[in-house]
Amino acid sequence: MRIVVLVSGRGSNFQAIVDNVAAKNLSVTCTQMITDNPNAYAIHRAHNAGIPVTVIDYHAFPSRKEYEVDLLLALDELQPDLIVLAGYMRIIGKEIVLAYKERIINIHPSLLPSFPGLHAQAQALAHGVKVAGCTVHFVDEEMDAGPIILQRCVRVCDDDTVEVLEERILAEEHIALSHAIQLFCDGKLKICDRRVFIL
């Protein structure tokens, strides 16, 4: 199975995939990392892991539409079995969603449907929830809304800062994302309406 990982920032979830592949906990080939951000720290991680990087600089395009055309071209050339959004901070456009229907997954740092969108951990803290977590889900045309593959939860403590909560959730993200990739690649995920069954 050939996976392509999209990353916008430091890429700790990308690193977790790389580490799990190296440790043979995850039997996939990460063929490429794509980033919209030429300054993403994840680029260094990819170089260190010997994984080719494609930079498609979002700000170099006159519009989101034109950026997406290039992104779709890059994806089509790579012919991935699975596209993994691992801290990719842009919405995936309709054309790409349709071209890779049920083959794009995203990790989000909340127990969706609570706290979609940016700064989910800060939203959770401000709302005062006592249980937080992360969600791996298929990507559809709405943000953070597709069928849910896995969720893992963590406690929220009274003295948590956003940073502390982020780190606690991130540890679960690292586990959940690799687990979901393996389930997908083993053909064990069955989508039925908006429920995902694990065969």
Among 38, 52, 113, 117, contact with its own copies (rule: CB under 8 A):
113
Q: Is 126 in the site for its own copies (CB under 8 A)?
A: yes
Minimum gap (Å) between residue 88 Cβ and its own copies: 22
Q: Is 90 in the site for its own copies (CB under 8 A)?
A: no
Distances (CA, A) of 8 to 33, 45, 199: 10, 13, 32
Question: Which range, of 53-61, 79-87, 92-100, 187-195, touches its own copies by CB under 8 A?
Answer: 187-195
Minimum gap (Å) between residue 117 Cβ and its own copies: 13
Widest CA span in the chain:
49
Question: What tokens appear for 6 in the block?
Answer: 């999209």
Among 2, 10, 119, 152, contact with its own copies (rule: CB under 8 A):
152
| CA 31 from centre of chain | 16
List beta partners, residue 154.
132
Q: How many CB atoms lie within 10 A of CB 80?
A: 22
Q: Which residues bind its own copies (CB under 8 A)?
A: 111-115, 125-131, 133, 135, 147-153, 158, 193-198
